[in-house]
Amino acid sequence: MEGPAEEGTGGSGPAAAPETQSATEAGGFIRVAKRSKRKRRAAELDGGGGGGSRMDTGQPWPSKRPDFPPVCGDALRSGKDEMRKIPVPANRYTPLKENWMKIFTPIVEHLHLQIRFNLKTRNVEIKTCKETKDVSALTKAADFVKAFILGFQVEDALALIRLDDLFLESFEVTDVKPLKGDHLSRAIGRIAGKGGKTKFTIENVTRTRIVLADSKIHILGSFQNIKMARTAICNLILGSPPSKVYGNIRAVASRAAERF
């Protein structure tokens, strides 16, 4: 019984010897074939009629990245008109009425949207129509109206329509530090400064626009500029003297200007 077994092993030994030598190095590590060789072998097996696993159906191989044609605005709208509603608080009724034509004109003529003020719900409603071509027009118009409702001038809020890299950020004084009573009033006073001097200085240095509405703070500007203005305001809330805050934001602004 031992003889045939040895013959069988002996017969397969010489054929398997080159494979073990090529696959195994000294020390028992397995040598892995290079990626290019593996790709070549896979191509030979699949495409060269070597009995590959993939059937030859005559269809082209799918590419790694999908290639989609550009989509027009009408296809993205999916046939339905979209609408945005912006609530208007009571203290902004009169400014909205006085500046209605300044708000109405760019939204209708430039963005090709429909806008109205609903007297029952007290909302400004903006709606797309057939003439609307830009997909982002509705968002721009909603941000523009929202900025005006928050207290920004129409001219400043209009930059949200003209430029793409402008944003709105809102936070409260109590988000930075839980203050109450006179301490909260003093923090708001430090942000504003005498006659609004501190607020104007931060706006001019950081190239932003700031609205102080009681304990709420709204900042309009680019991402980097909002970050600088927010840091300065937070330092004022935490108790830093204005002179120190001026020096810090001027240093940061000069560094940002040198970078660009």
Query: What was the pLDDT predicted at 46?
Result: 65
Distance, in Å, from the CA atom of 9 to the CA atom of 126, rounded to the nearest integer, reads 84
Place of tokens 């912006």: 86
State mean pLDDT over 114-125: 93
Distance, in Å, from the CA atom of 5 to the CA atom of 22, rounded to the nearest integer, reads 26
Residue 157 has pLDDT above 80, yes or no: yes
Distance, in Å, from the CA atom of 104 to the CA atom of 110, rounded to the nearest integer, reads 10
Per-residue b or e along 170-194, where b marks 16 or more CB atoms closer than 10 Å to that residue's CB: eeebeebeebeeeebeebbebbeee
Distance, in Å, from the CA atom of 105 to the CA atom of 113, rounded to the nearest integer, reads 10
Tell me the pLDDT tens digit for each residue of 8-48: 444 444 444 455 455 455 566 777 667 777 777 777 776 55
Q: In this predicted model, which residue has the larger pLDDT, 105 or 250?
A: 105
Distance, in Å, from the CA atom of 165 to the CA atom of 7, rounded to the nearest integer, reads 80
Query: What was the pLDDT predicted at 74?
Result: 59
Q: Which two tokens stand for residue 236?
A: 């004022």
Distance, in Å, from the CA atom of 138 to the CA atom of 20, rounded to the nearest integer, reads 68
Query: What was the pLDDT predicted at 57?
Result: 59
Distance, in Å, from the CA atom of 208 to the CA atom of 229, rounded to the nearest integer, reads 7
Query: What was the pLDDT predicted at 4?
Result: 47
Q: How many residues does the chain have?
A: 260
In this prediction, residue 243 has a pLDDT band, given cuts at 50, 70 and 90, of: confident
State mean pLDDT over 53-75: 63
151: number of Cβ within 10 Å: 17
Query: What was the pLDDT predicted at 47?
Result: 59
3-state secondary structure of 33: coil
Q: What's the first-to-final CA gap in the chain, in angstroms? A: 87
Looking at the chain, the whole-number percentage of residues with pLDDT higher than 90 is: 47
Query: What was the pLDDT predicted at 16?
Result: 47
pTM: 0.66
In this prediction, residue 73 has a pLDDT band, given cuts at 50, 70 and 90, of: low
Distance, in Å, from the CA atom of 26 to the CA atom of 185, rounded to the nearest integer, reads 79
Residue 105 has pLDDT above 90, yes or no: yes
Helices marked H in the chain: 2-23, 35-47, 73-77, 93-98, 100-105, 137-150, 154-157, 159-162, 173-176, 181-192, 197-206, 223-237, 242-259
Distance, in Å, from the CA atom of 112 to the CA atom of 132, rounded to the nearest integer, reads 5
Q: In this predicted model, which residue has the larger pLDDT, 180 or 71?
A: 180
Query: What was the pLDDT predicted at 58?
Result: 58
In this prediction, residue 5 has a pLDDT band, given cuts at 50, 70 and 90, of: very low
C-alpha angle 97/100/101, rounded to 5°?
140
Tell me the pLDDT tens digit for each residue of 174-230: 999 999 999 999 999 999 988 989 999 999 988 999 999 988 999 999 999 999 999
Burial of residue 128 (CB within 10 Å: 0-12, 13-18, 19+) is buried
State mean pLDDT over 73-88: 76
